[in-house]
Amino acid sequence: MAERTKERAAVDTVLASISGIMSENREFLIKIDGVIGDGDLGITMDKAFSAAAGGVVSLDEPQVSKALIAAGKIMAKNAPSTMGTLMATGFMYGGKALGEEEILSAGGLYIFFKGFLEGVEKRGKAKPGEKTLLDVLDPVVRALEAKQKADLSDALDAAMKAAEEGLKATELMVSQHGKAAIYREQTLGKQDPGATAMLFVVKGFREALTTL
């Protein structure tokens, strides 16, 4: 196996970090999804990211963008739930958007998450404000856009803050999509499970990239 560049090694670290967070929060996600969804979110997120983390670390692929696309493909195969496939789509589109860019810069991170957002919007046919992961993803992309020239850690701090505010805002929204849409008004006052998982992804990036 070819030696990993620092950039490429960062992909392994990011996925391991997200996988760890999903695994720690498995029961929490099951619980909040059980209230307004079908309760399998913790299982599918844990499965998706542990497969992706394991697959990417043993993958002989030097290019960052291709490793991220591969992570998405592994998720799609291992966790074909709605959120599993949306996360998979995000990594595939984010990786594709990245091209020759790398992720250890604020600019690269912006390109990745912008691609992630475009992929999820296309696949999920939802808009911000409808109580989905987009309500975390969209503010994160806007925060990163404003920090393109900033320090990586500044950009990650801003992204995390935007994610937290975005998640908080979902409490005031009514679900329009997926199984949660059945519960409609009963979803008021509760944070969206998918948006919560999205926040964990951002958290995983931050924890991995600021400790490098």
Partner 1 sequence: MKKFLNAPESFVDEMLEGIMAAHPDQMSYVNDDIRCVVRKDLSKKKVALASGGGSGHLPTFMGYVGEGMLDGCPVGGVFQSPSSDQMYEVTKAIDRGAGVLYIYGNYSGDIINFDMAAELADFDDIRVETVVAADDVASAPKNETEKRRGVAGIFYLFKIAGAAAEAGMDLDEVKRIAEKVNGRVATMGVALSPCIIPDVGKPSFTIGDDEMEIGMGIHGEPGIRRGKLRSADEVVDEILPKLIDDLSPESGSEVSILVNGLGATPKEELYIIYRRIAQVLKERGLKPVKIYCGEFATSMEMAGFSISMICLDDELKKFLAAAACTPFFEQRKLEL
Site for partner 1 in 31-60 (CB under 8 A): 38, 40
CA separation for the pair 16, 212 (Å, rounded): 13
Q: How far is the CB of 80 from partner 1 (least distance, A)?
A: 4
Q: How far is the CB of 2 from partner 1 (least distance, A)?
A: 27
Stretch that binds partner 1, among 13-21, 96-104, 121-129, 146-154 (CB under 8 A): 121-129
Q: Per CB under 8 A, does 66 bind partner 1?
A: no
Tokens of 36: 């307004």
Q: Per CB under 8 A, does 81 bind partner 1?
A: yes
CA distances from 97 to 25, 108, 118, 152, 182 (A): 29, 10, 10, 19, 35
Place of tokens 């963008």: 65
Place of tokens 């599918």: 44
Q: Per CB under 8 A, does 80 bind partner 1?
A: yes
Q: Per CB under 8 A, does 76 bind partner 1?
A: yes
Q: Per CB under 8 A, does 89 bind partner 1?
A: yes
**In this chain, which of 63, 82, 105, 191 binds partner 1, going by CB under 8 A?**
82
**In this chain, which of 35, 146, 182, 212 binds partner 1, going by CB under 8 A?**
182
Which CB atom, from 87 or from 163, has the smaller least distance to partner 1? 87
Torsion of CA 24, 25, 28, 29, to 10 degrees: -140
Which CB atom, from 16 or from 76, has the smaller least distance to partner 1? 76
For residue 62, with 0-12 CB atoms within 10 Å meaning exposed, 13-18 middle and 19 or more buried, which class applies?
Answer: middle
Q: Per CB under 8 A, does 26 bind partner 1?
A: no
Q: How far is the CB of 114 from partner 1 (least distance, A)?
A: 19
Which CB atom, from 32 or from 83, has the smaller least distance to partner 1? 83
**DSSP-H helix ranges across the chain:** 6-24, 26-36, 41-57, 64-78, 82-98, 106-124, 134-146, 152-169, 193-210
Q: How many Cβ atoms from other residues are within 10 Å of residue 74's Cβ?
A: 22
Residues that bind partner 1 (CB under 8 A): 38, 40, 73, 76-78, 80-82, 85-86, 88-89, 123-125, 177-179, 181-182
